């Protein structure tokens, strides 16, 4: 608990300093566009509040805060789709899956937690769309909904399971994961914006460059090496490897959600820009880093 408090304090000081420096730079250079940095600072504050509750208080309160994050993330995701009336019932059932998924975590039923969405929801969620709703647009609406539930509910729900899987280390592991994921996102963005030249997948995300990707991996591996003795029970080898794993998974998560956004919002650039400014849309990396890091730890370490 002491390590968690100290780490959160350092994060709070860092975000506060970043906010002050941003305001100073904005006043000195009023003609420069700081919108990208502005909304990332908002993301940091939003994430800090959510995960302050998720790491510092009881597992039950942590579960509720992350469940709320899943709900709002899924709601934002659904807002990108051009919906028909026939899709509303499908969305309602998708929302109902959120408390059920988190209930399995609360009672510690790992077996059901791990198969509920990938198996049962995947197989039976299309039923509300099939019954008396016809076949027009069936595949697009169902697959879109299943992708959303898989990422925003199943992926993010792993954040809540850390504290139930290992009460001793769970909150610190969540904090460790979040710090590295957000560090990777920030470094990757800044290096790509100001230094990067070689765009990796411009059709999916025109901002991410090879230089940004490499810088993100190096930064997360370095910070992971500095933090692992205080927040994890890992040795130094896995401490460094954790940063590389989280950096690579975060990169894939960002690309995947970027592709989904651009596919769903083709021809609606105004809405695409609006959603890019929403802080909840910045959890795209966590939808990948949370489950991947969780299952690697669970497979190789006995404390999970």
With residue 26 as reference, give the H or E element that holds it: helix 2-28
Alpha-carbon span 20 to 214, nearest angstrom: 28
Report the chain's mean pLDDT, rounded to a whole number.
Answer: 82
* Residue 247: per-residue pLDDT: 93
Structure tokens belonging to residue 143: 């697959």
Nearest alpha carbon to residue 171 among 81, 268, 61, 278: 61
Is 90 exceeded by the pLDDT of residue 296? yes
* Residue 69: per-residue pLDDT: 86
Nearest alpha carbon to residue 272 among 259, 253, 256: 259
228-259 pLDDT, tens digit per residue, is: 998 899 999 999 999 999 999 999 988 888 78
pTM over 0.85: no
Q: How confident is the model at residue 111 (pLDDT cuts 50, 70, 90)?
A: very high
* Residue 53: per-residue pLDDT: 63
Q: How confident is the model at residue 267 (pLDDT cuts 50, 70, 90)?
A: very low
Q: How confident is the model at residue 106 (pLDDT cuts 50, 70, 90)?
A: very high
DSSP secondary structure letters along 128-155: HHHTTT-STTHHHHHHHHHHHIIIIIII
Mean pLDDT of 272-294: 74
Domain coordinates in residue numbering, the chain: 2-300
Is 50 exceeded by the pLDDT of residue 80? yes
Between the CA atoms of 22, 28, 34 and 37, what dihedral angle is there, to the nearest 10 degrees? -20
* Residue 29: per-residue pLDDT: 72
* Residue 105: per-residue pLDDT: 95
Name which of 25-39, 75-89, 154-168, 179-193 the model is least confident about: 25-39
Alpha-carbon span 173 to 280, nearest angstrom: 21
198-214 pLDDT, tens digit per residue, is: 888 877 777 788 898 99
Is 60 exceeded by the pLDDT of residue 265? yes
């Amino acid at each position: 608990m002491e390590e968690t408090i100290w780490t959160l304090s350092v994060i709070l000081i860092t975000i506060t300093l970043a906010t002050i420096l941003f305001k100073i730079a904005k006043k000195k250079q009023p003609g420069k566009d700081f919108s990208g940095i502005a909304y990332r600072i908002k993301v940091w504050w939003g994430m800090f509040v959510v995960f302050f509750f998720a790491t510092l208080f009881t597992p039950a309160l942590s579960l509720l805060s992350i469940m709320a994050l899943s709900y709002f993330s899924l709601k934002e995701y659904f807002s990108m789709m051009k919906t028909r009336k026939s899709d509303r019932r499908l969305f309602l059932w998708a929302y109902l899956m959120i408390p059920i998924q988190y209930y399995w975590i609360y009672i510690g039923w790992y077996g059901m937690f791990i198969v509920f969405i990938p198996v049962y929801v995947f197989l039976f969620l299309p039923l509300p769309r099939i019954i008396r709703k016809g076949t027009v647009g069936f595949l697009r609406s169902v697959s879109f909904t299943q992708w959303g539930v898989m990422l925003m509910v199943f992926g993010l729900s792993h954040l809540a399971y850390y504290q139930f899987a290992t009460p001793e280390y769970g909150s610190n592991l969540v904090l460790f994961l979040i710090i590295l994921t957000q560090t990777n996102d920030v470094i990757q963005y800044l290096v790509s914006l100001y230094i990067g030249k070689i765009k990796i997948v411009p059709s999916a995300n025109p901002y991410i460059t090879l230089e940004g990707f490499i810088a993100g991996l190096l930064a997360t591996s370095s910070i992971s090496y500095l933090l692992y003795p205080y927040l994890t029970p890992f040795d130094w080898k896995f401490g460094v490897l954790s940063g590389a794993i989280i950096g690579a998974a975060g990169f894939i998560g960002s690309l995947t959600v970027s592709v989904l956004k651009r596919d769903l919002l083709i021809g609606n650039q105004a809405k695409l820009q609006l959603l890019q400014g929403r802080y909840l849309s910045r959890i795209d990396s966590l939808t990948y880093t949370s489950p991947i890091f969780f299952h690697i730890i669970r497979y190789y370490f006995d404390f999970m």
